[in-house]
Amino acid sequence: MLYEQTVDRMQAMNLSGMAVALEEQRQQAGITDLDFEERLGMLVERQWLWQQNRALSRRLKAAKLKLNACLEDINYRHKRGLRRDTVEQMIGADWVRCHRNCIISGQTGTGKTYLACALAHQACRDGFRVLYYYAPKLFRDLRTAQLDGSLVRLLRKLARSQLLVIDDWGMEKVEPQEYRGFLEMLEDRYDIGATMITSQFDVSVWHELIADATVADAILDRLVHSAYRIDLSGESIRKTRGSGASSQSKT
């Protein structure tokens, strides 16, 4: 079979990574010194990496994370109560696999969103489906879905994510019926997915935010039980960083 035909058939079978690697091998001096199995192994390895990278790109695109954050870029020098060992025990995303939750609390500017996006990015790298939501938008979507009859479809979408990130929880006033919709969402996800929440409010005052005692008890029971807790403190990182620094820098 001619080389061009081989490449065409690789492309037709969606083996683009292998096709690129084959062309690279043809350009490498001394490649014929390797035996057939070694060269084949190199082609298969490149195809596997190509597929993994494409899958990761799809997961990151679907996650819609607010920040392009990585755990490797986290700054532990800033005095905000963030311990390296606390974060490292979440690398590998076993907590997502075991459907545990994570609650990150702290004042504005302490890096809650960055840390949440970094953990979510790691979960994407580990093969999990992730979905990021700014909390006020989530409640608006739940409210709209209740009005237009699409609530079941929205709840199904939320339930499919193996990790749901809810950022800035408690920032806006929420009506009691919206908290009931939120509770229904948590119920659909209970024991099948992990939820990560960031909030400026400590968990101790969440009950007051929800107002409806019965719904508050149910929500806290599903969120807080056995959840990882990361409580950040200290001065805003944005202030110490200086006005000229980018919000995308390491935090």
Q: What is the mean pLDDT of residues 60-75?
A: 93
The answer to whether residue 234 scores a pLDDT higher than 80 is no
Q: With pLDDT > 70 as the criterion, what percentage of the chain qualifies?
A: 93
pLDDT at position 250, please? 59
pLDDT at position 115, please? 95
pTM, whole model, 2 decimals?
Answer: 0.81
pLDDT at position 134, please? 96
Q: Per-residue DSSP letters for the chain?
A: --HHHHHHHHHHTT-HHHHHHHHHHHHSTTGGGS-HHHHHHHHHHHHHHHHHHHHHHHHHHHHT-SS---GGG---SSSSS--HHHHHTTTT-HHHHTT--EEEE--TTSSHHHHHHHHHHHHHHTT--EEEEEHHHHHHHHHHHHHHT-HHHHHHHHHH-SEEEEESTTSS---HHHHHHHHHHHHHHTTT-EEEEEESS-GGGHHHHH--HHHHHHHHHHHHTT-EEEE--SS-HHHHH-TTS-TTS--
Q: Per-residue DSSP letters for 19-88?
A: HHHHHHHHHSTTGGGS-HHHHHHHHHHHHHHHHHHHHHHHHHHHHT-SS---GGG---SSSSS--HHHHH
Q: What is the mean pLDDT of residues 150-172?
A: 92
Q: What is the residue-averaged pLDDT of the chain?
A: 87
Per mean pLDDT, which range of 30-44, 93-107, 181-195 is the poorest? 30-44
Listed in sequence order, the residues at least 6 apart from 183 whose beta carbon sits closer than 8 Å to its beta carbon are 215, 218, 219, 222
pLDDT at position 239, please? 61
User: Rounded to an integer, what distance in angstroms lies between the CA atom of residue 245 and that of residue 115?
Assistant: 18
The answer to whether residue 173 scores a pLDDT higher than 50 is yes
Q: What is the mean pLDDT of residues 20-36?
A: 83
pLDDT at position 129, please? 96
Q: Sorting pLDDT into bands at 50, 70 and 90, what band is 251?
A: low
pLDDT at position 231, please? 92
The answer to whether residue 249 scores a pLDDT higher than 80 is no
The answer to whether residue 152 scores a pLDDT higher than 60 is yes
The answer to whether residue 221 scores a pLDDT higher than 50 is yes
Listed in sequence order, the residues at least 6 apart from 148 whose beta carbon sits closer than 8 Å to its beta carbon are none
Q: What is the mean pLDDT of residues 73-97?
A: 86
The answer to whether residue 243 scores a pLDDT higher than 60 is no
pLDDT at position 1, please? 61
| Residue recorded with tokens 């919206």 | 178
Radius of gyration of the chain (CA): 23
Domains of the chain: 3-62 (no CATH), 64-241 (3.40.50.300)
More confident residue, 117 or 9: 117
Q: What is the mean pLDDT of residues 161-169?
A: 96
Q: What is the mean pLDDT of residues 91-120?
A: 92
